[in-house]
């Protein structure tokens, strides 16, 4: 008589395990609530190759001290700083959301997305006059990204200056579509992208990008004789 009940109990247990492991645990909202930072964007293009620059990069303590300061009057050094792999080099801010700021790290490894924004190493840094590519979780650092409109301002504070970018375009694309993350421009642009759609309990199979153009911030130019980026107006 009890066999049907035992079988039902086993079936219910197996279903509960499947539901948790296959649906709930993999959902980004669950990851955010549990402070998990799994590779939600694991299918995205990545050339994260573990670049190390310990001998020339500023120490993390020096970087954090500058970025945590409320003072935005940063004196730009003659040479563009070099950063260690995974080191924080900037803060991501949106003028629309007062006091909103997320740390930016020098890698696009999914492990950093639970803490802040990652910079894709196939992109450039602010001030280098080309495409900068930032990525992050849509339920974490880029939770407001979808709310931005044409003309809105994105501000990036770095240890070598403060940069502002004006939103010029938003786009939804497939994870294997590289037109936006590998785009080449005649002026400095900022591409911020995340998983899409935002409000769903299903896997996010698309990507959402906000593309902006630089409107302020110091410029650097590459000097082939020194192999470094020099502040425009200084040694070039």
Query: Does residue 181 form part of some domain?
Result: yes
pLDDT at residue number 65: 81
Q: What are phi and psi of 234, to 5 degrees?
A: -105, -150
Q: Is the predicted pLDDT of residue 93 greater than 50, yes or no?
A: yes
Separation CA 131–CA 145 (nearest Å): 18
Query: Does residue 23 form part of some domain?
Result: yes
pLDDT at residue number 26: 44
pLDDT digits (tens, 9 = 90+) for 27-39: 433 333 333 333 3
pLDDT at residue number 39: 36
pLDDT at residue number 48: 44
Q: How many CB atoms lie within 10 A of CB 177?
A: 15
Whether 3 and 98 map to the same domain: the answer is no
- Asked if residue 73 lies in contact with residue 96, where contact means CB atoms within 8 angstroms, the answer is no
Please state the domain count of the chain. 2
- Considering only CA atoms, which of 84, 212, 217 is closest in space to residue 153? 212
pTM of the model: 0.74
Cα 110 to Cα 12, 36, 208, distances in angstroms = 34, 11, 17
Separation CA 196–CA 79 (nearest Å): 38
Query: Does residue 236 form part of some domain?
Result: no
Whether 103 and 207 map to the same domain: the answer is yes
Whether 124 and 7 map to the same domain: the answer is no
Query: Does residue 196 form part of some domain?
Result: yes
Q: How many CB atoms lie within 10 A of CB 49?
A: 10
pLDDT digits (tens, 9 = 90+) for 160-207: 999 999 999 999 998 888 999 999 999 999 999 998 877 766 677 789
Whether 157 and 145 map to the same domain: the answer is yes
Report helix, strand or coil for 27. Answer: coil
Note down the domain range covering 17. 1-36
Looking up residue 119, the CATH number of its domain turns out to be 2.40.260.10
Whether 196 and 107 map to the same domain: the answer is yes
Whether 49 and 165 map to the same domain: the answer is yes
Q: Is the predicted pLDDT of residue 127 greater than 90, yes or no?
A: yes
pLDDT digits (tens, 9 = 90+) for 1-15: 566 666 666 767 666
CA dihedral for 41, 46, 49, 55, sign (positive or negative): negative
pLDDT at residue number 216: 96
Structure tokens given for 126: 């602010």
More confident residue, 48 or 126: 126
Rg of the chain in Å (alpha carbons) = 21
Task: Quote the mean pLDDT of the chain.
Answer: 79
pLDDT at residue number 98: 65
Local confidence band at 138 (pLDDT 50, 70, 90 cut-offs): confident
Whether 84 and 169 map to the same domain: the answer is yes
Separation CA 107–CA 48 (nearest Å): 6
Whether 68 and 90 map to the same domain: the answer is yes
């Amino acid at each position: 008589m009890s066999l049907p009940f035992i079988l039902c109990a086993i079936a219910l247990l197996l279903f509960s395990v499947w539901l948790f492991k296959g649906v709930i645990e993999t959902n980004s909202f669950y990851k955010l609530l549990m402070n998990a930072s799994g590779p939600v964007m694991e299918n995205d293009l990545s050339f994260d190759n573990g670049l190390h620059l310990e001998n020339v990069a500023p120490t993390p303590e020096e970087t954090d001290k500058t970025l945590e300061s409320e003072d935005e009057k940063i004196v730009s050094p003659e040479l563009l700083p070099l950063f260690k792999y995974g080191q924080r080099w900037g803060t991501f801010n949106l003028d629309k959301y007062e006091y909103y700021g997320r740390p930016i790290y020098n890698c696009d490894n999914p492990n950093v997305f639970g803490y802040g924004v990652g910079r894709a190493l196939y992109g450039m840094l602010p001030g280098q006059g080309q495409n900068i590519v930032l990525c992050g979780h849509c339920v974490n650092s880029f939770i407001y990204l979808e709310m931005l409109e044409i003309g809105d301002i994105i501000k990036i504070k770095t240890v070598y200056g403060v940069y502002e970018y004006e939103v010029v375009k938003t786009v939804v694309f497939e994870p294997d579509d590289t037109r936006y993350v590998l785009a080449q421009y005649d002026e400095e642009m900022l591409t911020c992208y995340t998983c899409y759609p935002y409000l769903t309990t299903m896997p996010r199979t698309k990507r959402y990008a906000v593309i902006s153009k630089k409107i302020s911030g110091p410029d650097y130019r590459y000097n082939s004789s020194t192999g470094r980026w020099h502040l425009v107006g200084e040694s070039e």
